[in-house]
Amino acid sequence: MLAALVAVNLWTFIVFGHDKARAMASGRRVSEANLLALAAIDGSPGALLARRVFRHKTRKQPFSAWLWGIVAVQTGAVVGLLLL
């Protein structure tokens, strides 16, 4: 399970970096829906790290609101599981 979590976060980080590179080169971009889907399947730590490292999608709305909503839900789920 830990390996899968590491893999999805690494993949999310890589995809965010790829999207940033494509944005700078005016190339075909990764859709925001796909970026958010990666975050939603437990890739939110990788997404947050990539945003900081690549300075990518840091002010984009409503993308940021959706991403932070995903982070909040995932954090709530982890806290809930720890309290069981």
Q: Which domain holds residue 60?
A: 2-83
pLDDT digits (tens, 9 = 90+) for 28-74: 999 999 999 999 999 999 999 999 999 999 988 999 999 999 999 99
pTM of the complete model: 0.92
Number of domains within the chain: 1
Which residue is listed with tokens 């590179």? Answer: 21
User: Distance between CA atoms of 70 and 72, rounded to whole angstroms?
Assistant: 5
What integer is the mean pLDDT of 71-79? 97
Determine the pLDDT at residue 62. 96
Query: Please, what is the end-to-end C-alpha distance for the chain in angstroms?
Result: 19
